[in-house]
Amino acid sequence: MTIVNQTKISQESIDGVMRASNFDNDRYKKFKMVYNLFGLLFGIMFVRSVVEHMMNTSGADTFMTVFYAVATAIFLYIGMIGMDKNNKNRFQSIYGKMKNITFTYAIDSEEIKVTDEEEDSDLFSWKDVIKWNQDQNNFYFFVSQENCLIMDKKGFTSGTEQDLRDLATAVFALRNEEEE
């Protein structure tokens, strides 16, 4: 059975690729956690310093209060906004040129054939797919850390989203059995 899907790339699907890529990216998660943790630690030190100023303690230092405030702002900005903004720009540069282009995917148990509107096609073996993920609207099949095949769940012309989910689960289960 061949599953056929037609997907028009949109900004929402590009944002979804970014989230799906980071879903199991341990390096990204660790850096984000470290930046946020340091931001919170500097925030605690800032609050402590402000309280010392309010209590007119002799150990109160205006320079350190300002330093803690600036360090808190920088680390929390990087951890909460900056890393995601950087990733969004990276994925936008990769997929932005594909916006509003319709891709047709022909998927079977051996390979995935991708054809664009100009009839250019690429062929991917299931061995090329390193991971897959899904959200409410799309499936994401990664052939590298940043290159992804995006399939709209509403775009099936042959087969269903459940058929694709079952096929991907079966292929990865077989791959895991072979590795063991």
Tens of pLDDT, residues 92-113: 888 888 888 899 999 988 889 9
Task: Identify whether the C-beta of residue 160 lies closer than 8 Å to the C-beta of residue 171.
Answer: no
CA dihedral for 136, 142, 147, 152, sign (positive or negative)? negative
Looking at the structure of the chain, the number of domains it has is 2
Q: What SS3 class is residue 143? A: coil
- Whether residue 75 is found in the same domain as residue 132: no
Q: Give Dmax (Cα) for the chain.
A: 78
Helix axes 26-54, 62-77, angle to 10 degrees: 150
pLDDT band at 180 (very low <50, low <70, confident <90, very high): low
Instruction: Give the pLDDT score at 76.
Output: 94
Residues 25 and 70 in one domain: yes
At 1-48, the pLDDT tens digits run 789 999 898 888 888 887 777 666 777 788 889 999 999 999 999 999
Q: What's the rounded mean pLDDT across residues 78-99?
A: 83
Shared-domain flag, residues 125 and 150? yes
For residues 126 and 111, the answer to whether their CB atoms sit within 8 Å is yes
Spatial separation of the C-alpha atoms in residues 48 and 26, rounded to whole Å? 33
Q: What percent of the chain has pLDDT over 70?
A: 96
Same domain membership, residue 158 and residue 133: yes
Range of the domain at 77: 18-96
Q: Are residues 58 and 80 in the same domain?
A: yes
More confidently predicted of 83 and 9: 9
Query: Is 125 exposed, middle or buried (CB count within 10 Å of its CB: 0-12, 13-18, 19+)?
Result: exposed
